[in-house]
Amino acid sequence: MDKPKPLAASPVLPLALKGAALCGALFLAGCANHMSPRNEHEERVERKLLEHSVQIDVGEPTTLDEPQRRVRVNEHRTFEVTEFEVTRNYDRYTPYQPWRKVYEIPLGAVAVVGGVGANVVNIFALGRLPDSVTHDWITDGLAGLNPAMNMPSSGRAEQNLASVKEVQKDKHREVISLPWSNRPVDVTAGSHLYSLTTDREGVVRVNLLDSPFADNSLRNVARLQFSAKDDDDHTHGEASLDLSNDLRSKLVEARGLIFDDLEDDEVSQWVHRVKRLSELGFEAEAADLEQSLIELTRNDPELQHDFLRALARAGRHVTVPNH
């Protein structure tokens, strides 16, 4: 006698289980309650560097016949400026939280009833009631009654960036000129290279009778070569300043008058140094030497008096600083 075959599992049961699991998952996950989108507007400016240059202005005349000169350095940047109006669109929604249905279902029922009543009243009010009463109460109430959706809430709202739109408003060129402030400038004098620093106005002061130029002879130097370089993009500028033959010959004598030892000289020799510097055309240096000698004799009033009288006889008008 044949044994009875075991019954095959019914395909209906697994399908029912899958359907129940899917419904449960949907219930637990719920649906996000989409709210009115939000837009942000801003202006954005995009700058593209087209040209960068460094300009060195050695002044006039281009041949130096005095020991001092102010050299000005500026940098110029040319930009292509594009202005955009940017609009960002955000999708807003209230994320689903199942436990909120405990109080949202009764509130939803109240909101639906109130919304229906408001619409009836609106008929007699000739449509004067706001949409927040006639429309939003019903919408929010239905969301509250829906077990898979929360009522919309601005306080819990989250957002996602949906799209970005850029509209070009303008495009133009912009030139910015700035002083080469507190930055190095190299000066080549013959075989010597000196590094100077500009001030906040982009000016470097060259004094051939002061350090570092006074440390070396410029008798055979016919030109000063200036160079400034931006290490970020290797932009550089150059300029030259010729030295007159007359200036170079005067510099040799002037250095001796200024830097040779003073303490062993007589008062008459001090006055000679001051007068000779003035005769060479170095009036600023003559005045500096005067003040240095007055300061040197500050603790010897008699010697200082003799020096001042000698200067007066030589036609020099000196102001004695107060101490």
**Is the predicted pLDDT of residue 117 greater than 60, yes or no?**
yes
Confidence grade of residue 55 (pLDDT, cut at 50, 70, 90)? very high
Which two structure tokens, joined as six digits, stand for 313?
A: 């006889």
Which two structure tokens, joined as six digits, stand for 189?
A: 């004098």
Q: For the whole model, what pTM was predicted? A: 0.64
Is residue 274 within 8 A of residue 264, CB to CB? The reply is no
The closest alpha carbon to 66, from 323, 299, 247, belongs to: 247
Rounded mean pLDDT, 92-118:
83
List of E strands, the chain = 33-57, 63-64, 68-94, 158-179, 184-189, 192-197, 203-207, 223-230, 235-243
pLDDT of residue 36: 81
pLDDT of residue 25: 43
Rounded to 10°, the helix 136-145/101-124 angle is 150
**Is the predicted pLDDT of residue 292 greater than 90, yes or no?**
no
**Is the predicted pLDDT of residue 172 greater than 90, yes or no?**
yes
Domains of the chain, CATH where assigned: 28-42+91-162 (no CATH), 45-83+174-244 (2.60.40), 261-313 (no CATH)
Residue with tokens 């619409």: 119
Is residue 83 within 8 A of residue 43, CB to CB? The reply is yes
Q: How far apart are CA 119 and CA 305, in angstroms?
A: 109
Q: Is the peptide bond before 179 cis (omega within 30 degrees of 0)?
A: no
Q: Strand, helix or coil at 259?
A: helix
**Is the predicted pLDDT of residue 318 greater than 80, yes or no?**
no
Q: What is the DSSP string of 272-322?
A: HHHHHHHHTT-HHHHHHHHHHHHHHTTT-HHHHHHHHHHHHHTT---PPPP
User: In terms of DSSP bridges, do strands 63-64 and 235-243 run parallel, antiparallel, or are they unpaired?
Assistant: parallel
pLDDT of residue 14: 53
Confidence grade of residue 243 (pLDDT, cut at 50, 70, 90)? very high
Confidence grade of residue 321 (pLDDT, cut at 50, 70, 90)? low
